[in-house]
């Protein structure tokens, strides 16, 4: 955990240390929020500290866990680090303007460098950037004071090419979600519902580092993608300018950035980066006179006040309390994350929901469960945490935090795996006053079902297949081989087979696995009904979770009427992530209504 110790030196100053298993310390500066990880206890804090410069958008979501992992590896070598959100992104306030394009982000980078030096006592920095963040490192190093080295991972060489690539990437994500042309954000630079401010996009379009005139540091590690000759040529350019350049193939890049839900960490690359940084920092001496961060860290908007916070045993979880500035109303809301998305949520939907609730007087807590985003894993726990009972311990810690602050009890709200976690936690947590479950994949996990397979090859609903079959674009994708026909056919056959099994007389159900699962689901709903815990089930019209809902409660859903505290809503024209603005508004309103009703 992070703690304060007295160093027996002539000047005797306070320092912070980190121990494995604890989350990093929240800090705020320049209208944004960051995570500071000091050197590990028992190591000599290096006079070099690492400043992380993140990519943008979908790529940032996919690399969030990688940044936390690298920060912990650096700490084990005595190297402190700071990672942060650019203003207007992630958990930073979003009422931002960007005159001139990049100056606001560049000012935040400079403020982050100064904050890192203040906290760590280090005089020199090592910049670690990914994607667009690597480009910022290359271009802005000269304004950050002494920079000992730079790690440039998959750097954006040409901003114009990057935006074209981003547009194609965005279409692939939208196609995967099943969004129609009318539902896409086509007029702006965007991906996965995240919109790059127009002024920022215009400035990025003009970026180019192919003919860079100055090296960011004497020592540079370029982690380049095999098929990108321009990245290798950029490394050549740095070498010609006098930098000592180490080159490393970016093994596992595609598996990392394909989808945050199924992202695989590039272990070999992370190990190489950590070893390079440790070697560079080894001979730079010891940091002196670090400063204590303010406590608590506060981020403010017009109608909310947020406190990024570590909580749980050994401060192992990282989350954000969002408090209304006006009069408090209703019960608090615990906003549970989906899959491995960071606590800000898909397209920042969780941040937006929290601040909407605060504007209506409702407290909320959003957080990363263990081994998700900025919360480290639990020792000896399985690497795959989704749909596991262990995540209920994290929810329990969230209720403990709210209770300790006098803010509980609370209602639970989540989507997909977060909806499953909300449902299962409500069964065990007496302090839960209600549940809003959005597109729950299931209510009882089938132990014969492999979580990895379910996430990677999650079948679409029959309704979704039917809807897509009517689109002209589907025929183009079939002809081009973009659609895996065998897998789609297999999914359809399995769902049709499941429907046939469910149509069998109920006398046979108790003899089948389906019957046992159905009994367990109804027993769970019965327990919540006996406790008078209200629940709102919300589905998009073609969500695959509806297949299981109808399996357990009938094709017409009439079986749910046995539980009077449960309401079911079907949202038309929405995808699994509830991306369209109208769907987001619908969800926020229902969560607010649940919070207000639960306190009566």
Phi, psi of 559 (to 5 degrees): -65, -20
| pLDDT, tens only, 464-475 | 545 544 445 554
Architecture of domain 3-158+215-281: 3-Layer(aba) Sandwich (3.40)
| pLDDT, tens only, 497-506 | 555 555 544 5
Q: Which residues contact 538 (CB under 8 A, 6 or more apart)?
A: 436, 437, 438, 439, 568, 569, 571, 586, 587, 590
Burial class (CB in 10 A: 0-12, 13-18, 19+), 327: exposed
Cis peptide preceding 582, ω within 30 of 0: no
The DSSP 8-state label assigned to residue 506 in this structure reads G
Q: Which residues contact 329 (CB under 8 A, 6 or more apart)?
A: 360, 361, 362, 596, 599
- The CA distance from 516 to 501, in Å, is 13
Q: Where in the chain is the domain with CATH 3.40.50.1820?
A: 3-158+215-281, 299-452+515-598
Burial class (CB in 10 A: 0-12, 13-18, 19+), 536: buried
pTM: 0.89
> Does 151 or 296 have the greater pLDDT score?
151
- CA dihedral (218, 224, 227, 228) positive or negative: negative
| pLDDT, tens only, 318-368 | 999 999 999 999 999 999 999 999 999 999 999 999 999 999 999 999 999
**Other C-beta atoms within 10 Å of 558: how many?**
9
Mean pLDDT along residues 145-168: 97
446 and 513 Cβ atoms separated by less than 8 Å: yes
pLDDT of residue 1: 34
- The CA distance from 533 to 431, in Å, is 10
Of 577, 186, 574, residue with least CA distance to 348: 577
CATH of 299-452+515-598, one of 2.60.40.640, 3.40.50.720, 3.40.50.1820, 3.40.470.10: 3.40.50.1820
pLDDT of residue 261: 82
Q: Could you tell me the CA-to-CA distances from 153 to 54, 139, 238, 301 in Å, in that order?
A: 10, 14, 14, 33
Q: Which residues contact 22 (CB under 8 A, 6 or more apart)?
A: 1, 2, 310, 314, 315, 316, 376
Of 463, 415, 375, 417, residue with least CA distance to 22: 375
């Amino acid at each position: 955990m992070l703690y304060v110790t007295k160093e027996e030196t002539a000047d005797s100053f306070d320092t912070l240390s980190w121990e494995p298993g604890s989350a990093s310390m929240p800090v705020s500066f320049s209208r944004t929020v960051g995570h500071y990880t000091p050197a590990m206890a028992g190591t000599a804090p290096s006079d070099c500290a690492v400043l992380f410069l993140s990519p943008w958008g979908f790529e940032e979501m996919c690399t969030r866990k990688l940044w936390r992992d690298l920060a912990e590896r650096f700490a084990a070598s005595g190297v402190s680090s700071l990672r942060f959100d650019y203003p207007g992104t992630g958990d930073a306030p979003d009422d931002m303007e960007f005159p001139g394009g990049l100056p606001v982000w560049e000012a935040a980078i400079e403020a982050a460098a100064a904050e890192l030096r203040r906290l760590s006592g280090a005089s020199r920095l090592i910049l670690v950037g990914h994607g667009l963040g690597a480009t910022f490192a290359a271009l802005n190093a000269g304004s950050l004071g002494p920079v000992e080295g730079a790690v440039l991972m998959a750097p954006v060489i040409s901003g114009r090419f990057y935006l074209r690539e981003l547009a194609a990437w965005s279409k692939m994500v939208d196609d995967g979600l099943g969004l129609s042309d009318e539902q896409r954000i086509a007029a702006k630079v965007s991906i996965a519902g995240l919109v790059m401010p127009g002024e920022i996009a215009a400035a990025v379009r003009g970026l180019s580092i192919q003919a860079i005139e100055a090296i960011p540091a004497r020592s540079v590690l370029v982690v380049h993608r095999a098929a990108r000759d321009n990245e290798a040529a950029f490394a050549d350019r740095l070498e010609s300018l006098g930098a000592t350049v180490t080159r490393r193939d970016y093994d596992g890049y595609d598996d990392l950035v394909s989808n945050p839900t199924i992202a695989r960490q590039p272990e070999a690359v992370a190990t190489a980066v950590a070893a390079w940084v440790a070697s560079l920092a080894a001979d730079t001496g010891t940091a002196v006179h670090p400063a204590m961060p303010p406590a608590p860290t506060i981020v403010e908007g017009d109608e909310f006040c947020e406190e990024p916070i570590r909580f749980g045993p050994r401060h192992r979880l990282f989350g954000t309390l969002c408090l209304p500035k006006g009069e408090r109303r209703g019960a608090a809301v615990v906003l549970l994350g989906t899959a491995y998305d960071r606590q800000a949520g898909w397209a920042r939907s969780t941040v937006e929901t929290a601040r909407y609730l605060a504007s209506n007087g409702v407290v909320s807590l959003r957080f990363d469960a263990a081994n998700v985003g900025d919360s480290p894993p639990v020792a000896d726990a399985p690497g795959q945490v989704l749909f596991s009972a262990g995540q209920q311990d994290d929810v329990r810690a969230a209720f403990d935090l709210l209770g300790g602050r006098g803010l509980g009890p609370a209602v639970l709200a989540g989507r997909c795996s977060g909806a499953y976690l909300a449902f299962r936690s409500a069964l065990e947590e007496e302090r839960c006053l209600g549940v809003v479950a959005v597109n729950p994949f299931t209510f009882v996990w089938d132990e014969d079902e492999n979580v990895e397979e379910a996430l990677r090859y999650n079948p679409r609903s029959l309704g979704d297949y039917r809807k897509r079959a009517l689109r002209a674009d589907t025929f183009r994708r079939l002809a081009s081989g973009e659609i895996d026909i065998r897998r789609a056919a297999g999914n359809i056959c399995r769902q049709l087979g499941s429907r046939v099994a469910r149509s069998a007389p109920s006398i046979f159900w108790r003899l089948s696995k389906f019957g046992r699962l159905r009994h367990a689901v109804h027993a769970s709903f019965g327990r919540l009904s006996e406790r008078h815990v209200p629940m709102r089930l919300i589905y998009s019209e073609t969500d695959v979770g509806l297949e299981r809902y109808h399996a357990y409660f009938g094709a017409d859903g009439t079986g749910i009427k046995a539980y009077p505290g449960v309401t079911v809503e079907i949202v038309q024209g929405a995808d699994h992530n509830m991306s369209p603005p109208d769907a987001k508004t619908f969800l926020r309103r229902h969560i607010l209504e649940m919070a207000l009703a639960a306190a009566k």
